[in-house]
């Protein structure tokens, strides 16, 4: 039986945040520049409120400026566009993040397209997606960037590895595949219509699960020794009626088969916010014309 290594994303993210804080202090001391991140929350989705609170807290702890905009659920699309346009013009704001999901009456694509690409620290704007696709510098979506940093640290060398990404969202699956391709992996994107998903997964040296389906990927879908990155955060109620969070991978079944795996919680999730801070620092440097 394989001794499966746990990939501790929480500890890795904490080290990243400490490095970012040191860089932010240096930026302030040498250039008088304080990176500013504007976080916009519309409505009162309980999970989104927690994520936004953590983003604000960690931005401040890293020595950067946090500007929070909490808007009621009935905010109109036009009002949100006007706020984003004002933030685009504000020179003290280097990064803009609109927390997703937005209320259903607001067109998320329109809002994301309104954010100035150089301030799009989520990396969701089509300009940043296009830059990633053609190999130009841009801002890379935080969750896939976090997954890549974990893979580089825990599963080198990536070049030539067979990677399967389960999930084709614009936010995780597609950018993840682009990043792995950039590292010279042989990449497959699998999804709900993939024929024989278990067999596709069994081919993977690196498996990234990002489908949002609790424990979809079973232990016998894994190649022995595979590196498994679980992006899923699914709230479920267990047999005793207790609420808990599980990933897209059946974690206990994967132990003893995978070579290494990210737990949920404590794996990819904390990396998302650490990468948001990294992107904010990068955006501030670029806007000020400071090499980093
Ligand atoms: N504008 C954005 N909206 C959303 C994003 C995003 O990157 N940009 N991603 C997700 C939510 N998200 C950040 O916003 C996020 C999700 C999870 C975590 C995290 O640290 N998770 C913990 C568990 C937390 C829990 O108990 O719920 C973990 O995995 O250990 C951070 C950020 C959707 N929206």
CATH of the domain at 243: 3.40.50.720
Place of tokens 């999970």: 47
Is the distance from CB of 117 to CB of 123 less than 8 angstroms? no
Per-residue pLDDT, 150: 98
Indicate if 183 and 250 belong to the same structural domain.
Answer: yes
CA count, 13 A, side-chain hemisphere, 91: 2
Place of tokens 């329109």: 110
Tell me what ipTM this predicted complex has.
Answer: 0.96
Is 3 an active-site residue? no
Q: What is the mean pLDDT of the chain?
A: 97
Of 275, 276, 260, the closest CA to residue 224 belongs to 260
Indicate if 93 and 174 belong to the same structural domain.
Answer: no
Residue ending a domain, among 84, 117, 150, is 117
Indicate if 106 and 146 belong to the same structural domain.
Answer: no
101 CA: nearest ligand 1 atom: 34
Residue 123: inside a domain: no
Indicate if 64 and 156 belong to the same structural domain.
Answer: no
Per-residue pLDDT, 34: 98
Residue 10: inside a domain: no
Is 122 an active-site residue? yes
* Confidence band of 237 (pLDDT split at 50, 70, 90): very high
Indicate if 60 and 163 belong to the same structural domain.
Answer: no
The residue segments making up the domain with residue 41 are: 32-117
- Domain of 52: which CATH number? 3.40.50.10860
Indicate if 112 and 153 belong to the same structural domain.
Answer: no
Indicate if 111 and 149 belong to the same structural domain.
Answer: no
The one catalytic residue among 55, 119, 174, 223: 55
Q: Where are the alpha helices (DSSP H) in the chain?
A: 9-31, 46-61, 77-89, 108-114, 126-134, 142-154, 173-182, 197-202, 251-254, 268-288
Phi, psi of 54 (to 5 degrees): -65, -40
Residue 181: inside a domain: yes
List residues near ligand 1 (CB under 6 A).
47, 51, 97-100, 122, 142-143, 233, 245, 264-266, 269-270, 272-273
- pTM (two decimals): 0.97
pLDDT, tens digit, for every residue of 34-44? 999 999 999 99
Name residue 164's beta-bridge partners.
188, 207
CA–centroid distance, 48 to ligand 1, in Å, is: 8
Indicate if 216 and 152 belong to the same structural domain.
Answer: yes
Q: Which residues contact 150 (CB under 8 A, 6 or more apart)?
A: 7, 9, 12, 229, 262, 267, 268, 271
pLDDT, tens digit, for every residue of 190-221? 998 999 999 999 999 999 999 999 999 999 99
Residue ending a domain, among 102, 117, 132, is 117
Residue 210: inside a domain: yes
169 annotated as a binding-site residue: yes
Is the distance from CB of 261 to CB of 215 less than 8 angstroms? no
Mean pLDDT for the stretch of residues 149-158:
95
Cα–chain center distance at 285: 21
Is the distance from CB of 67 to CB of 36 less than 8 angstroms? yes
Per-residue pLDDT, 146: 98
Is the distance from CB of 254 to CB of 233 less than 8 angstroms? no
Q: Is 58 helix (H, G, I), strand (E, B) or coil?
A: helix
Is the distance from CB of 259 to CB of 2 less than 8 angstroms? yes
Indicate if 222 and 181 belong to the same structural domain.
Answer: yes
Element (H, E) at 68: strand 65-71
CA–centroid distance, 271 to ligand 1, in Å, is: 9
Per-residue pLDDT, 169: 97
- Closest residue by Cα to atom 34, ligand 1, is 100
Per-residue pLDDT, 225: 97
Indicate if 234 and 177 belong to the same structural domain.
Answer: yes
Residue 23: inside a domain: no
Residue 292: inside a domain: no
How many independent structural domains does the chain possess?
2
pLDDT, tens digit, for every residue of 94-150? 999 999 999 999 999 999 999 999 999 999 999 999 999 999 999 999 999 999 999
Residue 288: inside a domain: no
Indicate if 259 and 170 belong to the same structural domain.
Answer: yes
Indicate if 167 and 48 belong to the same structural domain.
Answer: no
CA count, 13 A, side-chain hemisphere, 274: 25
Is the distance from CB of 84 to CB of 107 less than 8 angstroms? no
Is the distance from CB of 219 to CB of 254 less than 8 angstroms? yes
pLDDT, tens digit, for every residue of 52-65? 999 999 999 999 99
Is 152 an active-site residue? no
Residue ending a domain, among 117, 150, 168, is 117
Per-residue pLDDT, 2: 87
Residue 131: inside a domain: no
């Amino acid at each position: 039986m394989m001794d499966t290594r746990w990939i501790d994303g929480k500890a890795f993210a904490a080290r990243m945040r400490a490095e970012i804080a040191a860089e932010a202090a240096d930026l302030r001391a040498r250039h008088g520049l304080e990176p500013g991140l504007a976080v916009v929350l519309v409505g009162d989705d309980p999970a989104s409120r927690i994520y936004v609170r953590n983003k604000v807290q960690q931005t401040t702890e890293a020595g950067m400026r946090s500007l929070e905009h909490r808007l009621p659920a009935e905010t109109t699309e036009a009002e949100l566009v006007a706020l984003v346009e004002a933030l685009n013009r504000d020179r003290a704001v280097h990064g803009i993040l609109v927390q997703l999901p937005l209320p259903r009456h607001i067109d998320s694509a329109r809002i994301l397209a309104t954010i100035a690409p150089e301030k799009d620290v989520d990396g969701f704007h089509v300009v940043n997606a296009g830059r990633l696709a053609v190999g130009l510098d841009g801002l890379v979506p935080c969750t896939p960037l976090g997954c890549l940093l974990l893979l580089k640290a825990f599963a080198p060398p990536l070049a030539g590895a067979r990677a399967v990404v389960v999930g084709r969202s614009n936010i995780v699956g597609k950018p993840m595949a682009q990043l792995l391709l950039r590292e010279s992996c042989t990449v497959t994107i699998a999804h709900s219509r993939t024929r024989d998903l278990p067999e596709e997964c069994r081919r993977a040296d690196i498996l990234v699960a990002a489908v949002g389906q609790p424990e979809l990927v079973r232990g016998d879908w894994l190649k022995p020794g595979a590196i498994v990155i679980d992006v899923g955060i699914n709230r479920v109620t267990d047999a005793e009626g207790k609420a808990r969070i599980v990933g897209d991978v059946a974690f206990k079944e994967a132990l003893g088969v995978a070579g290494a795996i990210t737990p949920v919680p404590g794996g990819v999730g904390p990396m998302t916010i650490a990468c948001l801070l990294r992107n904010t620092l990068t955006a501030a440097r670029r806007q000020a014309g400071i090499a980093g």
